[in-house]
């Protein structure tokens, strides 16, 4: 028996991993980067970032990017660190956390993360339907037909589910290469554009504080835009399909996060130089008016939204499948059904169907901004928990926590505090509800998983270090 096989057998015997671990596709680092960056540079960039610049100005939009990355960069570093603490299999962030800190902590984060990922699928499919706006406008003008975007988004959602059920993650990764190339070309045409097509709607120069009259408050703008930055962990869902996850996860996740931040800053400056706040606020597709070739923006939006939806529909079922294999879900029969996989790579067929049902419900709502704000709260509470766990383990000096990639405890603390502050800034009520749900989930799992490592051990270690 090989060393890896003996380690897997030993971990299985200790209850750390299921004996039926999936074999995976053996992907490299590129799919992690592509899944993350194509999700970061997605619907918000094309549809709502002009809105952000119009309502809070260039200075405010740069603050949105900065504050967003004060959450996502510490989270990316924390996840990368945790991922190198021990062997990684399928289940993404859930698997990584649960194997390092126990099923109570991992399950709490995993459930919140799964819901976030499942809703993300709906968010990106609704955004994909928005890419057909020129067709809707043409039908309304020439045929007097008012077409509901859900006539596009719902069939598209069903088609994506069918593709994943029949073709699996291998096809999804191949599509990511094509989509990423289209996305890069689309952003390039925008950056090369000369400004708004109408000269009177171009600004005289760079104004850091120019905004429209009666703008939305900063919290609303931040909540609308924050889902753009959450794509940095989209590649984690492929953890069980990576050849060397300890290398690919840190490299792919961190590089995608930093690349996305730079591009958002450049786009914010370009928007400010190319159109007045009024023009930016009146037209969600303002980038098409600025681009060197307008249709490239609609194509880029469609490609980005489609790739993001594919990334999320690959990640969410794998998270649910691993939750079920660890008996985290409260109904035993549901665990047995969701854990099933098909073929050598253990494609999560039933978990994909479940994720698709959740996504279809949110697609039927059809409101992009509403879904974006729901997503923001779920991702915020998930990222805050990830950073908090990383902070406690680093500060406690746990001898069993020995990752090969090292973050810093104070960066994780910054991520935790920023998540809490921004949640309260967006909505105090929703922040309290989200944190309460996380707390109740943790207490419920702690009762059902007695004897397993939990937060108490991390707090004891941290208090011991403080006492010393």
> Residue 127: in which H helix or E strand, if any?
helix 103-130
Whether pLDDT at 66 is above 60: yes
9-23, 349-363, 394-408, range with the lowest pLDDT: 9-23
Whether pLDDT at 7 is above 50: no
Q: What's the CA gap between 79 and 250, in Å, rounded?
A: 8
Per-residue pLDDT band at 57 (split at 50, 70, 90) = very high
Whether pLDDT at 411 is above 70: yes
Query: How far from each other are the two terminal CA atoms of the chain, in whole angstroms?
Result: 45
Phi, psi of 326 (to 5 degrees): -95, 5
Note the pLDDT tens digit of each residue in 324-339.
988 888 888 999 999 9
pTM, to two decimals: 0.79
Q: What's the CA gap between 283 and 201, in Å, rounded?
A: 12
Q: Give helix 295-325 / helix 30-40 axis angle, nearest 10°.
A: 120
Three-class SS of 20-33: CCCCCCCECCHHHH
Whether pLDDT at 200 is above 90: no
């Amino acid at each position: 028996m090989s060393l890896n096989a003996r380690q897997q057998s030993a971990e299985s015997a200790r209850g750390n991993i299921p004996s039926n671990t999936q074999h995976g596709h053996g992907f490299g680092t590129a799919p992690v980067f592509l899944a993350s960056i194509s999700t970061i540079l997605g619907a918000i960039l094309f549809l709502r970032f002009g809105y952000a610049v119009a309502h809070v100005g260039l200075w405010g939009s740069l603050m949105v990017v900065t504050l967003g990355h004060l959450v996502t960069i510490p989270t990316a570093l924390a996840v990368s660190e945790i991922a190198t603490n021990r062997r990684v299999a399928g289940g993404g962030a859930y698997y990584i956390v649960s194997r390092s800190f126990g099923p109570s902590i991992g399950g709490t984060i995993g459930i919140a993360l799964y819901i976030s990922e499942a809703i993300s699928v709906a968010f990106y499919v609704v955004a994909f339907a928005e890419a057909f706006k020129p067709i809707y406008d043409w039908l309304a003008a020439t045929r007097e037909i008012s077409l509901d975007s859900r006539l596009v988004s719902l069939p598209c959602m069903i088609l994506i589910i069918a593709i994943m059920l029949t073709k699996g993650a291998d096809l999804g990764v191949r599509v990511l290469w094509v989509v990423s190339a289209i996305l890069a070309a689309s952003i390039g045409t925008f950056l090369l554009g000369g400004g708004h097509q109408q000269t009177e709607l171009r600004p005289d120069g760079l104004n850091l504080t120019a905004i429209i009259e009666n703008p939305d408050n900063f919290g609303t703008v931040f909540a609308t835009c924050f889902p753009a930055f959450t794509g940095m962990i989209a590649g984690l869902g492929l953890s069980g399909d990576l050849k060397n996850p300890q290398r690919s996860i840190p490299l792919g996740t961190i590089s995608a996060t930093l690349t996305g931040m730079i591009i958002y800053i450049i786009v914010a400056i370009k928007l400010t130089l190319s159109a007045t706040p009024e023009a930016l606020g009146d037209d969600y597709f303002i980038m098409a008016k600025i681009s060197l070739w307008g249709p490239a923006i609609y194509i880029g939006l469609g490609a980005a939204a489609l790739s993001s939806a594919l990334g999320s529909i690959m990640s969410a079922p794998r998270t649910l499948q691993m939750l079920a294999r660890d008996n985290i879900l409260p109904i035993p029969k549901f665990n047995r059904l969701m854990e099933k996989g098909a073929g050598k790579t253990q494609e999560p067929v039933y978990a994909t169907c479940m994720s698709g049902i959740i996504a279809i419900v949110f697609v039927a709502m059809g409101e992009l901004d509403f879904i974006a704000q729901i997503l923001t709260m779920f991702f915020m509470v998930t990222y805050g928990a990830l950073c908090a766990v990383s902070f406690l383990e680093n500060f406690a000096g746990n001898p069993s926590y020995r990752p090969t990639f090292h973050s810093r405890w104070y960066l994780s603390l910054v991520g935790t505090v920023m998540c809490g502050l921004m949640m309260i800034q967006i909505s105090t009520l929703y922040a309290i509800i989200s944190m309460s749900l996380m707390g109740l989930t943790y207490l419920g799992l702690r009762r059902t998983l007695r004897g397993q490592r939990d937060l108490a051990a991390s707090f004891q270690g941290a208090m011991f270090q403080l006492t010393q």
